[in-house]
Structure 1
Amino acid sequence: MKLAIFAGALLGATVMTSAAMAQEKCSVGVSMYTLDAPYFAAQEAAARDAAEAAGCDVRTADGQNDMVKQIGDIEDMIAAGVNVLIVNPRDPLGLVPAVNAATAEGVKVVAMDSMLDASANFITNVSASNAENGKLVGQWLATATGGKPLKIALVSGQKGNLVGEARRTGVLSGLMEAQLTNYGHADISVVGQGWGSWSTDGGLTAMEDLLTAHPDINVVLGENDSMVIGAREALKAAGRLDGVLLVAAADGQKEAYKMIKDGEYGATGLNDPAALAKMAVDIGVKALNGEEQNLGKYTFTDPAAVTKDNVDQYYKPDSVF
């Protein structure tokens, strides 16, 4: 009898030990393709905080907007033994081999923010719904401008970036459809496109060039807040702020929220970097622990257009971003 009890206890201990081993100590790698904008810096910091709060070791890397470097960063993380990889990819296709190699090594890979091609072997891609955010911003813009002809200066991030493409097409499609629905016509001209590399300085330079070529613009549409804030500086320096409405397809940078609150900026799409990062880390850690999640290839946060009517719901003066 005592022997049976001892054997049962030993078996129970073995099962407990096996369960404990199944939930192995997590080591999270966060591979950012750039930190050259407040949004990405806030995202990296939030991912680190979320991983540490989950009891994980954390390694982070800045790809410095260089796909080759980001691939090397991921390879280094795999060699160092990370078992959860959170990656904000520089290129949707270029990162596929590195991601597939990580997954083949048993690493739980979650893409974050920028889109990774669906052919890659990863758990899910966490992002804001750029198309839906853009659509809501476009609808607001149509209503705010009352159907008048719009001459839009478009400030984009980088050529070939799928996120930027989804953002601008979302706004423009939402704007056109709302103009047609509300006023029976669509009078929209995108008079020029500049490339601002997602940064404030880049937005300023792009806007200077656009303003020289098209002095009669009445709307600046940017693919993120940082570039629109830079564009605003160029408009201000040129004495052209009056009569130009500023909108961003996405982000929700606190400086933009403050200007929205003060009536100096029209609208932006909701894209909270901390919420994305926390969700991505949570999904990765749960996958490591074998928890069922039933996720599709893409996971989206709830969309919203942030305007003067609702900015107080989102504006946090003390936030990182």
Structure 2
Amino acid sequence: MNAMTRRIVVGTAAVSIALTMAACGKAGDKKDSGSGAKADKTIGLLLPENATTRYEKFDRPLITAKIKSLCSDCSVDYANAAGDASKQAQQVSTMITRGVKVLIVDPQDSVGIQSSIQSAVDKGIKVVAYDRLAQGPVSAYVSYDNEKIGELQGQALLTAMGAKATPSANVVMINGDSADPNAAQFKEGAHKVLNGKVKIAYEQSGLWKDSVAGQKMSAALTQIGKNNIAGVYSANDGMAGGIATVLKGAGINPPLTGQDAELPGIQRILAGTQSATIYKAYAPEADATAEIAVDLLQGKDFKSVTPTTAKSGSGQTVPALLIGATAVTKDNIKDTVIKDKLYTVAQICTAEFASACKAAGIS
């Protein structure tokens, strides 16, 4: 990720904020909290989609709760684009009309959102890019070290393949949506590790959708042959779910990676139908973003939160915080997502996965 001047790695942190502090109604609700707050203390929050479980289950309530803890009379105006870039552009316009003073944006389309961000800034609104670096004049950017995440994914796949990881071994790569700049960074990092070690025999975008990823995997099976696939790289757990279904239908079970440490992904790892995922602690990202947003609202200096910089596709150099991540396999589930209270043992070890949990020493 040559756009980054340096990487800051923040260790796995406990996701321990009580999620019930924030209301979790339907996407598009106008206010998460503080509906009686003054208009000049409103922070807008726009998230890109709801197919990936993290946004509604973790990001939204964590950001809202942290903002309220830092500014009790602040209000959060929330909307989710549901995977529609044009809808998100309209949501920005709505936030401008409502008079938000700071806008947190996780762009569905990092390029297409540029004119909307420019319009917001022209109205005096400060914009914080969250998780994905939007193009345009944003004040700050908080995300993960995404190229490193791709490297972790690639290494996890090679480790799972073991002795089968040879230069002639066929690997299928199902990448994320090209409208998401993070997807390109995951891909770049994975290629850095995989190239020369295995043969990338089929590579397509799954658009962050399990159904599309499943279709691409089916096409790969037809093109390569089910007995000639040594491993599968999936850029996230949602797509890995669709891929795993197709692989099971074909009667094969090659190593399969993912990302986001989604609950079904953790359960597939225990069951042996997924090899690894990437755990990105959501609280540090959400907390830092909320702190920057409140600082911007109050006219305070936020630079202590952003010790590095990133350069967007439109050429802006943006103060940034880039957070580290951890590869999760069956061996360290207890020491990562359970230890950090992302999920409880009861949530993971349902009746279907009880025996797998016992075998893994999780109880």
User: TM-score range, shorter-chain basis?
Assistant: 0.7 to 0.9
**Structure 1 residues 65 and 220: CA distance shift in structure 2, 3 A:** same
In the alignment, which of 222, 226, 245 is matched to residue 234 of structure 2?
Answer: 222
Among candidates 172, 190, 200, match of residue 200 of structure 2: 190
Please state how far the C-alpha of 1:222 moved relative to its aligned partner.
Answer: 1.0
Say whether the 8 Å CA contact 1:128–1:270 is kept in structure 2.
no
What is the DSSP-based 3-state SS (H/G/I as helix, E as strand, rest coil) of the residue aligned with 2:137? coil
Q: Which amino acid aligns with 1:167?
A: F
1:158 and 2:212 aligned: no
Displacement of 1:263 in angstroms is: 4.3
RMSD: 2.6
Instruction: Give, in angstroms, the shift of residue 80 of structure 1.
Output: 0.5
- 1:317, 1:255 → 2: CA distance? 11
Return the match for 2:211 from 178, 185, 201: 201
Structure 1 segments unaligned to the other structure (5+ residues): 1-22, 177-185
Partners of 1:80 and 1:112 lie apart in 2 by 21
Residue correspondence of structure 1 range 237-276 to structure 2 within 5 A: 237-241=249-253, 244-248=254-258, 250-276=259-285
Residue 110 of structure 1 aligns with which residue? 128
Equivalent-residue separation in structure 2 for 1:78 and 1:167 (angstroms):
33
| Segment of structure 1 superposing worse, 153-162 or 231-240 | 153-162
Does residue 1:291 correspond to 2:300, yes or no? yes
Aligned-residue sequence identity (percent) comes to 25
Whole-Å Cα distance in 1 between the matches of residues 273 and 243 of structure 2? 13
1:64 to 58, 82, 85: 82
Identify if the C-alpha distance between structure 1 residues 263 and 239 changes in structure 2 by more than 3 Å, giving closer, same or farther.
closer
- Is the Cα–Cα contact under 8 Å of residues 252 and 272 in structure 1 kept in the other structure? no
Tell me the CA shift for residue 318 of structure 1. 4.5
1:274 offset after TM fit, Å?
4.6
Q: Which of residues 163, 174, 194 is equivalent to 1:175?
A: 194
SS at match of 1:31: strand
Offset at residue 86 of structure 1 (A): 0.8
User: Gapped runs of 5+ residues in structure 2?
Assistant: 1-37, 310-317, 349-363
CA separation of 1:277 and 1:106: change in aligned 2, threshold 3 A: same
Deviates more, 1:46-55 or 1:217-226: 46-55
Give the number of aligned pairs: 285
Q: Tell me how far apart the structure 2 counterparts of residues 93 and 34 of structure 1 sit (CA, whole Å).
A: 16
Matched to 2:268, the amino acid is M
TM-score, L = length of structure 1: 0.79
Which residue identity lines up with residue 334 of structure 2 in the other structure? D
How far has the Cα of 1:194 moved from its partner? 3.3
Moved over 4 A (4+): 318-321
> Residue 283 of structure 1 aligns to which amino acid in structure 2?
I
Whole-angstrom CA distance in 1 between matches of 2:65 and 2:344: 17
TM-score by length of 2: 0.71
CA shift in 2, pair 1:150/1:128, >3 Å: farther
1:212 is matched with: 222
Which amino acid counterpart does residue 234 of structure 1 have in structure 2?
Answer: V
